[in-house]
Amino acid sequence: MHFQELNYILCIAKHQNLTKAAQELYISQPTLTKYLQRLEREVGGKLFVRSGNSYTATYLGRRYLEYARKILTVDQDWKKELQDLTSYNEGELNIAFPLMRSSFMVPQIMETFHRQYPGIRVNLMEETYAIQEKLLLDDQLDFAIFNEAKPHPKLEYETLLKEEVLLVMPRGHPLAALGEKKSGREYAWIDLRLLGQEPFILHFPEQTTGQIALELFEKYGICPDVPIRTRNTVTCVKLCQKGMGLCFIPETYLKNIELRQPPLCFSVGREGAFSTLTIAYRKGAYLPAYARDFIRIAREKL
């Protein structure tokens, strides 16, 4: 197996189309066809079944692809370690952040990291959870930061931050006086059952804060009106300040959003509501010193 050959076959499997694969590889379709035919003669069987212009991997093809990915992963890990040993702080990091968090996380982390490693190129991607995980498993990322991680057997996870999810009210709201000061809590606590008739501005259910809100409503047996849903936390807060409804916000957002006047915030739930920020990377992957330092800096800053 040659590395070029492995990449060619993986590209065919990715697109399931020779023309698209050839375009990505910057070679002609006839050249790619010859590579595939020669390889199939060498292994003694068909790697793909053709139906029209679509190429689907056979069982032999799937097994070949599995080994191809393993070989390329080992090669990439070796190159990273070799670079770490010889490059004197030159290299590259590919990192994915949650869509809504990067705007306040990245500046905090990058200021310190770039000062320590000015020669490291950093490629930042803002993606949804599913895309982040796929890119990570395909070795297109060094690591990814997740709001709430659903454990995958091929990934390692480290906790960066556990933060409280707060209820937000506009100043002057008539129910604000119902908040109670409790020992050991930074924010006043409010019983959600008292807010069942209030409108709420929520994130979508597939988002972490949206899911936490629905779980709280179920736990407290309320079903409030939800006239507006949005993926944007800043939008939630600004609509709340205009009296459009109550909302929920992770505490780190509250501390990093620039607002003319901060809203009223309350703890909710018996022990409070919390979300966890984690960083994930491929199990067994080699992380250069600068990658490990990025994780350390992220944990310290957050």
| pLDDT tens, position by position, 80-123 | 777 766 665 678 899 998 877 777 788 889 899 999 888 889 99
Question: Residue 113, class by beta-carbon neighbours within 10 Å (0-12 exposed, 13-18 middle, 19+ buried)?
Answer: buried
What is the distance between the alpha carbons of residues 283 and 281, in angstroms, rounded to a whole number? Answer: 6
Provide the whole-model pTM: 0.64
Q: Which of 98, 89, 164, 159 is nearest to 131 (CA)?
A: 98
Catalogue all structural domains in the chain, each as residue range(s) with its CATH number: 3-73 (1.10.10.10), 74-161+276-301 (3.40.190.10), 162-275 (3.40.190.290)
Secondary structure class of 184 (helix, strand, coil): coil
| Helix, strand or coil, per DSSP, at residue 117 | coil
Taking only the tens place, the pLDDT of each residue in 117-160 is 888 899 998 887 778 888 888 888 898 998 876 788 989 899 98
| Pairing of β 91-98 and β 143-146 | parallel
Q: What is the pLDDT of residues 74-85, one digit of tens each?
A: 877 777 777 766
Of residues 167, 165, 170, the one with CA closest to residue 240: 170
**214 C-beta neighbours (distance < 10 Å), count:** 13
Does the CA dihedral 20-26-29-35 come out positive or negative?
negative
Phi, psi of 208 (to 5 degrees): -55, -50
Q: How far apart are CA 94 and CA 136, in angstroms?
A: 10
User: Beta-strand (E) ranges in the chain?
Assistant: 48-51, 54-57, 91-98, 120-127, 143-146, 155-169, 188-189, 201-202, 228-229, 247-250, 264-267, 274-282
